[in-house]
Each structure stands twice: as C-alpha cells, then as structure tokens.
Amino acid sequence: MSILGELGQRFRPLLTELVDDPDPLLDLVRPSQDPALGDYQANFAMPLGKRLGRPPRQLAQQLAAALAEDPMCHPPEVAGPGFINLRLRNSWIGQRLAQAAADPRLGIPRVENPRTYVVDYSSPNVAKPMHVGHIRSTVIGDCLCRVLRFLGHRVISDNHIGDWGTQFGMIIYGWRHFLDEEAYRREPVAELARLYRLVRRLIDYHEAKSRRADVTEQLAQQEAALEANRRAAGPQPDKRTAKMLRRMEATLARTRQQLEELDRTITQTETDPALARLLDAHRDVARAVLNETAKLHAGDEENRRLWRQFLPACLEEIESLYRRLGVSFDHTLGESFYHDRLEAIVQELLDRGVARESDGAVCVFLEGYDTPMLIRKRDGAFLYATTDLATLRYRMDTWNPDAILYVVDFRQSLHFQQLFATARRMGLDKVELVHVSFGTVMGEDGRPFRTREGDTVGLEGLLDEAVRRAARVVAGNDDAKPDGPELSPAERARIAEVVGIGALKYADLSQNRTSDYQFSYDKMLAMNGNTGTYMQYAYARVRSIFRKGNVDVEALRRDPAPVRLETPAERALGLELLRFGEALELTLKDYRPNQLTGYLFGLANHYSTFYEQCPVLKAEAPELRRSRLLLCDLTARTIQKGLELLGIDVVEKM
Ligand code: ARG
C-alpha cells in the first residue's frame, strides 16, 4: 500500500464515525506542496466542518489527536483554518526502506481486490503501413497492462487489428491490375503496400476531381455572402456583426484550404508519369474496390483465397515490429474474427429494442446525439460500430471483465461515446468502459508528423532513425570517458538499440496523453531533462558505484540495516523512494503513464542532490556507507522497475 493509503487507513475509522461516505474526504489527504510544513497534508476538516456545522479547526484538532502517538508520523500540527500537517518519522521511513530493500517487489503489495481488465490497444489496420500514431496506442497500452499486472490485476491484452476492411478490397483490386510478380516474390509486404498506395492514390484522385466542382461552388457562395454582409455592415460594424464576419472569414479560409488540397492531389497525380497513364482506365476504381470488399465479406472464394494468402505476411510484418518494441499480446482477435457474429449482434439489438430500422438501414438512436449509430447499411453491409459491438459482446461473454480499456486516438471519441451508451442500453451497466484517448504526434513544424514525401512516417523507419541517433549519443558518451572508451562495437550497438527505442517510448509516455506532442529526436535523446536517455543514464550511473566499490549487492539486500536519514538530502530521497506505490496508483487512476515518468524523473533529481551532498563509498563510517549504498540500490531498482513498467529496458553501462 502507498503512504497515502496508509494515512487514509488511519483517518478512515474516524471519518466513518462522522459521515457515511469517507472516500471523497480521504481524497483530500495529499502530498504537501511545501516540505517546510510537512510531508503530507489532510485538508478534509474544512468541508467536513461545513457539512456538520462545526468549527473546522476544532474538528481538525480532534482528528489529529488520534495520530498523537503513531509510529508512522509525528503528532500532527493543525494550521490555518484547519489544515492537518503530517510529518513522517525518520524511524518509520528507515524501517520501510529496509523492508523494501529485502523485497523483490520493492515493498509494493498486490491489490486486495484484483479486477479483470481487457485492454484493447495497438490495433492497427494491417496491410497498410503502420504509422507513428500507432506507436502511441502500442506503448501506452503496453504500459497500462504492465502496471495493472504488477499490481495484481488480471489483464487480457487484445490487439483488435483491422484485418477485414476496404484496404483488402484495394489490394485485391491492385493485385488484379497492377501486380509485379517478381517484386511480390522478393518482398511480399512491400509489394502489397505498393499496391495499396497505388489504388489509394487513384481513388483519392477521382474523389478530388468530383469534389472539386462542389467545393469551387461553395467557395463562390461563401465569398459572395461575406461580401454582401460586409457591405451591409458598413465600415464600423457592431461587435456582434464583427464577430459574425470573422467567423465567415474563417470558414472561407478553410474552404480555400480545402480547394488547395484538392488541387494539390490532382496535380501531384497528373504529373506522376506512372499514375497519369492509369487515370482514365480506372475511373471506376472506388466502386470496384467496394465491390471487391463486399465480395470478400460475402464469401467469394477467390477473394477469400487472396485474403488468406496476404494476411500471414501482413501479420509477420507487424509482429517483427512488436518484437523490436518488446510488446506482446494475449490475443489478436481482429475484425475478421467477428465477421460471423455481426448478424447476431444486430439481431440482439433489434430484439432488445435498442436498435430499429430506419429507411432500410438499422440504427441505434441515442439521446443527446445528432446522428444515430448506424449498424447495418441499406445494402446489408456492416460497419466499424457493428464489429465493435460484437467484440464487446464476445469479451463480456468470454472474460466477463470488470473494465475494458480502449487505447485509441481521440478522433474516435464520438464512436466510443456512442458505443458505450449503446452498451448501457444492452444492459451492460456494470463493466467500466474507458476510451483511453490520446492526441496527435506533431512534427517540428507544428503539423502532423510526416516524411518529406508527405506520407505519414512509417514506424520501422522511425525506430531505425532513433537507434541510429542513439548510437551517436552512446559513442560520444563513451569516447568522453575520463579513462577512455570502455565499450566494444557490439556493446555499443546493443546499447544504442535499447537507448534509441527507450527514448522513443519514453518521449511518448511522458506526455500528457490527451494533448498533441511534438516529435523531436534531439529532445527525446537529450542526456538532460525528462527523457528516457537521462533515466537510463541515471540508472547506469548508480549501478557503476557498485562496480567501483566492489559491493556485494545481494548481501546488502539480504540483511538491510535500517536506513539512516540524518541529512535532508537522504531523507528526501528515502521518502521519494517510498512514494513509488503512490505513483503507480496515480498512473492507474486516470490511466496516465506520465504520472510514472514524472515520478521517476523526480526520483532521479532527488538522487542527484543526494549524490552531490552525501559521499557514498567514502562515507565517514561503515554503517553510514551501508545505509547510503542501500539508498543507491533502492534508487537503481526503483528506476529499473519503473522503466520496466513503461516497457523500457536498462543498460548497466552507457
Ligand atoms: N483499427 C482501428 C484504427 O486503426 C483501431 C481499432 C481500435 N479498437 C477498437 N475496438 N475499435 O483506427
């Protein structure tokens, strides 16, 4: 249990005597903002006083009295209107640290009431190149699984790959018309990706052509309307009119931009010699692709055969990425797995009166939404939402989870809101359904991250580049060592892989997941600041002390003496080490891995201060040396465990 949890336990019985629901009040026990006042602060006396109609200070004093003689903290002090300031006893901290040192779990117990979680993450659409957005889902989901498991929950990870969508219609179409057999034999996935891109571009071209007329007309209308309104408003429009004009201008600018984008697509395609000659012959490509997809879904033998032929290569491609990222899944039940269950889920929704027919289609109408959720089109085709409902039904029937986490891009928010609302109406009201959403990865130009060619960045190339740059950092570091370089080329290469991939993951995990973040190799590989590279370096630096001092770590851990915390730096580090459990609880509270990275960064900073101020190998007395070595060892192990829970490896030398 975390320190916060233990403090909560002390107050809980007292609060339960006063109110029915102590939990919201217990949330008001928090780490103190100002260490001069104490380590923790309980702020519940004020709201409690209001509720009970009693003076908060008096209440605070009464509650504080219960901790007057507690081995955990000094007698609390009541300050101001009724803040209870809590300071932990050094003896207690020291003892807890000794316990943590002897425990492979670092003193973090498993939760008393484990829950079952299904975590849906990564979930790329296969046969399309995976892009940088998928890295977010993959690393955030993987981290949440690791933390949940470590705390003792039952976790079922499920990669809900898109293996049944229109991209296969595109590839089948491409296969029929543009296949380069030789290239396919050599590199099947690359050739399939080429076919996909080729067909995609043909479709985009014809769509741009047909939309262009509409958008041009729209633009003319908007221009005319703006002009007329400007004229009517005169030279000095009032506030409301000015606001309206500004809004119209913004709309106009957007339409102009749209038109420019369409024109860009059109010229780029027409000036590409390989594409230009195909345009006329493949006017109908979009309809034909839908048709191939429909045939695949309907069981057409030839299309099924092609799909079965393509799929293994596509899966192997993403598997190799997962191996490199150190990510694995309990299940990979993609969209195709649910194909046979779609009919039944639509029927179930109709039977329960959750869905109804409308214009030949089947829809779920939900209060508070402008558009219903479409689950079967008029032509009988099923949709993304239908598959997700069948998936939900399957997961509930198979695993009966307490919670399902969907780690997916924020752009799908509406989809998940409607999915969850529908689930409630299906009677699934106990399961916690969470869209763990995340923002976009931006380039240094502040726009979604793309390569020079304008494609979104492929994941494989991204990893290679991170590792290549990490190799430079590692080499530079090693060359600059006072006693000369100590790493062989093979060691350097292995370390670069760990550091490069670690930096990439950490950069992603350390962001507030709901905001967009800017992708920068330089920033993620910086040796200073809140980066994976800095954390790995911090770890290696602590570990080097043990090599230098020839310390038998195992013996140290087997028989840990109570840790001494006489100086402020030692005490601060010791206390921070005990807060690991708190950081993990916070991470799960709103499913935010940046709570864990923030904690680790803080820990590394406390360690730096300690290391500057407190000699370790040269400590004045053997007892002090042992105590400080224990702090070092715990720091290294906490960093290592923390990084492991983020899905990041450590290296002993760097
Ligand atoms: N394949 C989808 C995409 O790449 C993500 C699927 C997320 N999971 C789900 N159950 N909808 O956009």
Residue 186: CA count within 13 A, CB half-sphere: 7
Residue 453, pLDDT score: 52
What mean pLDDT comes out for the span 572-593?
97
Residue 457 confidence (pLDDT) above 80 = no
Q: Of 313, 330, 392, whose CA–CA distance to 122 is shortest?
A: 330
Separation of 602 CA from ligand 1 center, angstroms?
Answer: 35
Separation of 302 CA from ligand 1 center, angstroms?
Answer: 27
Residue 454 confidence (pLDDT) above 90 = no
Q: What distance in Å separates the CA atoms of residue 510 and residue 389, rounded to the nearest whole number?
A: 32
Separation of 515 CA from ligand 1 center, angstroms?
Answer: 19
**Ligand 1 site-directed mutation target among 335, 408, 420, most atoms within 8 Å of CB:** 408
Task: For ligand 1, atom 5, name the residue with the nearest CA.
Answer: 123
- CA–chain centroid gap for 162, Å, is 19
Share of the chain above pLDDT 70, in %: 99
The DSSP bridge partners found for residue 30 are: 41
Separation of 136 CA from ligand 1 center, angstroms?
Answer: 13
Burial of 236 (0-12, 13-18, 19+ CB in 10 A): exposed
CB of residue 406 inside a 6 A radius of ligand 1 = yes
Q: Of 170, 201, 166, whose CA–CA distance to 279 is shortest?
A: 201
Q: Of 122, 108, 113, 163, whose CA–CA distance to 647 is shortest?
A: 122
Minimum-distance ligand 1 atom for the alpha carbon of 162: 1
Written as six digits, the tokens of 610 are 């300690």
Helix H, strand E, coil C: the string for 122-144 is CCCECCCCCEHHHHHHHHHHHHH
Separation of 332 CA from ligand 1 center, angstroms?
Answer: 12
CB of residue 388 inside a 6 A radius of ligand 1 = yes
Residue 451 confidence (pLDDT) above 70 = no
* Pairing between β-strand 432-438 and β-strand 83-86 as defined by DSSP bridges: unpaired
Residue 226, pLDDT score: 93
Per-residue confidence at 452, pLDDT binned at 50, 70, 90? low
Separation of 396 CA from ligand 1 center, angstroms?
Answer: 18
Separation of 137 CA from ligand 1 center, angstroms?
Answer: 10
CB of residue 435 inside a 6 A radius of ligand 1 = no
Minimum-distance ligand 1 atom for the alpha carbon of 384: 11
Q: Count the helices and strands in the chain (H runs, E runs).
A: 25, 13
Residue 459, pLDDT score: 81
Separation of 652 CA from ligand 1 center, angstroms?
Answer: 38
> What's the pLDDT tens digit per position in 173-207?
999 999 999 999 998 988 998 999 999 999 999 99
What mean pLDDT comes out for the span 534-558?
94
Separation of 162 CA from ligand 1 center, angstroms?
Answer: 7
Q: What are phi and psi of 526, to 5 degrees?
A: -65, 140
What mean pLDDT comes out for the span 135-151?
97
283: which residues sit within 8 A by CB, 6+ positions away? 206
Residue 130 confidence (pLDDT) above 80 = no
DSSP 587-653: HHHTT-THHHHHHHHHHHHHHHHHHHHS-STT-SSHHHHHHHHHHHHHHHHHHHHHHHHHT----S-
Minimum-distance ligand 1 atom for the alpha carbon of 416: 11
Residue 68, pLDDT score: 85
Task: For ligand 1, atom 6, name the residue with the nearest CA.
Answer: 123
CB of residue 303 inside a 6 A radius of ligand 1 = no
How high does pLDDT run on average in the chain?
94
CB of residue 408 inside a 6 A radius of ligand 1 = yes
Interhelix angle 3-18/45-52, nearest 10 degrees: 10
* Pairing between β-strand 77-79 and β-strand 29-31 as defined by DSSP bridges: unpaired
Q: What is the pTM of this model?
A: 0.91
> What's the pLDDT tens digit per position in 363-409?
999 999 999 999 999 988 999 999 999 999 999 999 999 999 999 99
Separation of 506 CA from ligand 1 center, angstroms?
Answer: 23
Separation of 600 CA from ligand 1 center, angstroms?
Answer: 31
Residue 485 confidence (pLDDT) above 80 = yes
Residue 455, pLDDT score: 58
Residue 259, pLDDT score: 96
Residue 322, pLDDT score: 95
Minimum-distance ligand 1 atom for the alpha carbon of 409: 12
> What's the pLDDT tens digit per position in 326-367?
999 999 999 999 999 999 999 999 999 999 999 999 999 999
Separation of 274 CA from ligand 1 center, angstroms?
Answer: 33
Residue 15 confidence (pLDDT) above 70 = yes
Per-residue confidence at 596, pLDDT binned at 50, 70, 90? very high
Look at the block and give the residue holding tokens 């999915």: 419
CB of residue 125 inside a 6 A radius of ligand 1 = yes
CB of residue 120 inside a 6 A radius of ligand 1 = yes
Residue 50 confidence (pLDDT) above 70 = yes
Residue 406, pLDDT score: 98
Separation of 163 CA from ligand 1 center, angstroms?
Answer: 11
Contact 1, 152 (CB under 8 A): no
CB of residue 123 inside a 6 A radius of ligand 1 = yes
Share of the chain above pLDDT 90, in %: 87
Task: For ligand 1, atom 11, name the residue with the nearest CA.
Answer: 388
Contact 215, 259 (CB under 8 A): yes
Residue 567, pLDDT score: 94
* Pairing between β-strand 29-31 and β-strand 356-358 as defined by DSSP bridges: unpaired
3-state secondary structure of 566: coil
CA distances from 221 to 216, 246, 307 (A): 9, 16, 46
**Ligand 1 site-directed mutation target among 118, 120, 123, most atoms within 8 Å of CB:** 123
> What's the pLDDT tens digit per position in 103-119?
999 999 999 999 999 99
**Strongest mean pLDDT among 15-29, 125-139, 604-618:** 604-618
Residue 131 confidence (pLDDT) above 90 = no
495: which residues sit within 8 A by CB, 6+ positions away? 470, 474, 487, 651, 653, 654
Question: Residue 311 corresponds to which amino acid?
Answer: L
Least confident of 23-37, 427-441, 484-498, 581-595: 23-37
What mean pLDDT comes out for the span 54-75?
91
CB of residue 160 inside a 6 A radius of ligand 1 = yes
Q: What are phi and psi of 363, to 5 degrees?
A: -135, 155
Task: For ligand 1, atom 4, name the residue with the nearest CA.
Answer: 124
Give the neighbor-by-neighbor strand order of the sheet with 40-42. Answer: 29-31, 40-42, 83-86, 77-79
The DSSP bridge partners found for residue 403 are: 117, 432
Residue 446, pLDDT score: 79
> What's the pLDDT tens digit per position in 464-479?
999 999 999 999 999 9
Separation of 651 CA from ligand 1 center, angstroms?
Answer: 34
- CA–chain centroid gap for 437, Å, is 8
Q: Of 498, 437, 520, whose CA–CA distance to 654 is shortest?
A: 498
Minimum-distance ligand 1 atom for the alpha carbon of 335: 1
CB of residue 138 inside a 6 A radius of ligand 1 = no
